[in-house]
Structure 1
């Protein structure tokens, strides 16, 4: 098994895509260290993709594409600008707030980062903000996407842990708002220290008009989250409703979406779904080999010998997640490690929903951590800002993310209070 891990790391360092690196390392193990047929790889990849929970994934990805094509980003930015007023560093607040609202539409960090960054980085550059700061705040704010529901990450976690997708969605609301709030405080401190420009104060009429323009965009998260919280729909059904709503808004209300645009949107969503699914399927095969070769009780005993304190256990895991996040994609980490860690999580009495939120927050930091940090490259390409330049201003934002993560570890109710409040109504 160690040889399999070494092969995977060598392939990743060599620049091989994560899905192929996982599949090739499993194939290497089956040929060299097992008497099983190589057909096991194909079988496990098929099993990894065969999950009823994963049905929600393409629906929410398509819903995000439809809303973006309907001009949601510009409307939300205008509304956020009207709320901020003439606060110093106001444009950076707008980046965070817009990403929080976008999170409740697409649930994907890369989509949010690209959509918001393409508009806000040029605007911040025009106002005199340093490119390094603009790139850093846009990259880190996009990590809120997979925390506030609907969340692609929570769908993946639910598929391998059998946790409730609906409860995970609800559990992510407060941590996502907390992270956004801490980022805004950080932006304000940096803005005051560096005397960044102030925003423009708008009249009540302008605020009202921007709200009216963004109303249908703001209503979508209410429909999705409200349907899940009330127990009326499952997460998958909410995704279907989001698509129907997106089509109605884009075609008949905003009228910015044309029928001829739909084919390209469907193709983009299909490609995005395929990219995620092949990673999930190959990671599932990789994780199956590891879980087959490692005795779960051995893992439980190992951690029990280290600590029986659940908070210390979570801190150790966070260190592991952060380390892996520098070289691996977050979904792969989740699929590979979750089956191994669940016996320990259960033995220590950690709520599976709380664990899922902490896990998701931890791997989000990997999205902005080199060398694999995908969001760094997305924002770099979107805003034409070199990655090393973004890294010059990103350290304070790392601290903000760690503070939010540690608060969720030591205050489990941040994740669980809404789940307890709505109880059995969530599917």
Structure 2
């Protein structure tokens, strides 16, 4: 009963408008106090410190900073020009370019919000000028930006891996096939709309234009090769790869493209610090919540309750998916991961569900949560750029959301889709 009251108080505080991290921490401290009195605050303080000092978590601020440097250093615009020259000649080509650019950007930043901020500020106005409706431009840009947390590197995967003691590199590998599948299906949906509504082509294909765009974007295109090649090749850890991403983005912006000056660097650093502080405060708060849940054995009680209904892993995954979809609608991605991982991991381990498989399933649910109001952080960002209403844009976004739901179902019930490459790289 106490556990339910603590969780209820947390949601009430969030609904009242308090910051999510503050709501989680306040509710967890109430629970700790009810269990152990004022002495429980000593363990809570230690948990706060330990929760934010895990080495893998250092990758989060580094990837956030790398994304900010890409936005201000000229890397994003050159990626857009390259993809436009490559596939822009197809009917509805600018919509295809939107998907392709997010695919490239995802391989560097790991953040959907950074993706939509970088690509949306260029592509949404361009799509509006070409005759695309503002709602369509915002919906497509928002949905394609969610590829940034499915394609490696992924900040939600890093967070999940640190909380669940799951290999972050294996999570990255497992995200490749679902990410490429999602990108292909989104492109297919774009082509369907292009034919149905006679969407315009861009400039006709030109080898000269493609060569010029490739030459301009060559350094930007090397970033995914350097980062992911180093991580998958076992040369660097995910955290070290994030450091390389920052160094590479900084060097390219300063020395190669020469668009990154001190003023832009300062703005990128401030942006990175602000985003990092939000995530890390959530992480530290979650450690106290995890302490409380561990002491009350709530995850074990939940696991026992679900297994009394069914021990079929597929039915359990369906129940978890429904819960995660709801949580994703009302909480930001990091908060949703922090709340659900301590609760569900004992059940996942008890039923023999691969933790890497569960991590990809969780990540896809977070991607869907970024598209579904009332929170919908990525969709809201896209709508603010396009100057459209969130709820009206959501209606336009439904076909693209359906694509992400389809990928989620494939990943849930065909584990080989995310785990095949993991088996190839690391064995069964």
Shorter-chain TM-score bucket reads over 0.9
Equivalence for 1:289:
292
Equivalence for 1:150:
153
Give the one of 396, 401, 415 matched to 1:398.
Answer: 401
Cα deviation code 1:166-222 (max 9, x no counterpart): 111111111111111111111221222222222221211111111111111111011
Equivalence for 1:42:
45
State the 1:404 CA deviation.
0.7
Matched, 1:352 2:355: yes
Equivalence for 2:277:
274
Secondary structure of the structure 1 residue equivalent to 2:108:
coil
Matched, 1:20 2:16: no
Cα deviation code 1:387-419 (max 9, x no counterpart): 123112011111100001111112212211222
Matched, 1:330 2:324: no
Cα deviation code 1:235-266 (max 9, x no counterpart): 11111111221222111111111245333322
Cα deviation code 1:122-173 (max 9, x no counterpart): 1111111111111110111111111111111111001111111111111111
Instruction: For 1:73 and 1:296, locate their aligned partners in 2 and report how far apart those are by CA, in whole Å.
Output: 43
Matched, 1:133 2:127: no
State the 1:33 CA deviation.
5.7
Structure 1 segments (4+ residues) deviating >4 Å: 31-34
Give matches, 1:198-237, under 5 Å.
198-237=201-240
State the 1:334 CA deviation.
1.4
Q: After superposing the two structures, state which structure 1 stretch, 19-28 or 119-128, moved more.
A: 19-28
Task: Structure 1: state its 5+ residue gaps.
Answer: none
Instruction: For 2:398 and 2:372, locate their aligned partners in 1 and report how far apart those are by CA, in whole Å.
Output: 10
State the 1:381 CA deviation.
1.6
Contact 2:32–2:292 under 8 Å retained in 1: no
Task: Structure 2: state its 5+ residue gaps.
Answer: none
What TM-score do you get using the length of structure 1 for normalisation?
A: 0.95
Give the one of 11, 15, 18 matched to 2:13.
Answer: 11
State the 1:296 CA deviation.
4.5
* Number of matched pairs: 424
Instruction: For 1:182 and 1:284, locate their aligned partners in 2 and report how far apart those are by CA, in whole Å.
Output: 38
Matched, 1:374 2:374: no
Instruction: For 1:295 and 1:25, locate their aligned partners in 2 and report how far apart those are by CA, in whole Å.
Output: 15
Equivalence for 1:60:
63
Matched, 1:75 2:78: yes
Equivalence for 1:253:
256
Give the one of 72, 96, 114 matched to 1:111.
Answer: 114
Aligned residues: CA RMSD: 1.7
Instruction: For 1:86 and 1:225, locate their aligned partners in 2 and report how far apart those are by CA, in whole Å.
Output: 29
State the 1:350 CA deviation.
1.4
Equivalence for 2:95:
92
Secondary structure of the structure 2 residue equivalent to 1:104:
helix
Instruction: For 2:305 and 2:298, locate their aligned partners in 1 and report how far apart those are by CA, in whole Å.
Output: 11
Contact 1:110–1:378 under 8 Å retained in 2: yes
